[in-house]
Structure 1
């Protein structure tokens, strides 16, 4: 059953690696600017770097606790700045943003588990 934490790490990390690659390239900067993020082009790229490095760290199980904290540092401001469902009058858009907000809250929870428990077996951190 040592493979279960490895599979969990892979599945958890994929969203950060994939979105990190896109954000480092500047994808989403226009959306961030429209949401009121200052210096959106720079901030999106920095956020992408945090997500990418944190995601790769978790994926590989190398310094996974630090990687998990990078993911938390990425997620908190992104969640609060980009998914402000409470300020949207359109019911459908508000519902979508609330779902994205809650998804990010769940991801923060998962990252906190990794920050506390580490990468688990079958990781670079636990190679003996």
Structure 2
């Protein structure tokens, strides 16, 4: 057996393993959800500051936007962790990430905003991977 055959065999074995189809997607979902959960909790801890920031960028109905953001981040992150309606939730969080980047982090000449903009775009990319490949074996979606 050649070296390339051995590598191909190992890759095939790995791709069928519980690690790849179970643990890795679960860990990935938890890591992706963490930033949304932390952000939602921080918004709850300072509603006036968050509403003021929303108002500053000129969004209509800042209090309603605040509530929608908190709901999206908290409920979305919990659903993502549990693997419940994962593809739909991941798509919503991807769209939320892009909308947030375009609305709140669009001053790309400011290095901090530049970093936050592309962090949000990268998060959207991660969410689109979840949309494409689903929640994995260890999820509520897999139990149905």
Band the TM-score falls in, shorter-chain normalisation: 0.7 to 0.9
TM-score by length of 2: 0.75
| 1:107 equivalent in structure 2 | 123
1:37 is paired with a residue whose SS is coil
The structure with the largest alpha-carbon Rg is 2
Contact 2:95 2:124 in 1 (8 A): no
2:29 is paired with a residue whose SS is helix
Question: Alpha-carbon deviation of 1:10?
Answer: 0.6
Out of 38, 55, 71, the position equivalent to 1:18 is 38
Q: Report whether the alignment pairs 1:33 with 2:49.
A: no
Q: Distance in 2 between matches of 1:75 and 1:39?
A: 19
Structure 1 gap segments, 5+ residues each: 89-93
| 2:103 equivalent in structure 1 | 81
1:85 is paired with a residue whose SS is coil
Matched length:
122
| 2:66 equivalent in structure 1 | 44
Question: Alpha-carbon deviation of 1:24?
Answer: 5.4
Contact 2:90 2:131 in 1 (8 A): yes
Question: Alpha-carbon deviation of 1:37?
Answer: 2.1
TM-score by length of 1: 0.84
Question: Alpha-carbon deviation of 1:5?
Answer: 1.5
2:143 is paired with a residue whose SS is coil
Q: Distance in 2 between matches of 1:6 and 1:57?
A: 12
Aligned alpha-carbon RMSD (Å): 1.8
Greater shift, 77-86 or 97-106, is seen at: 77-86
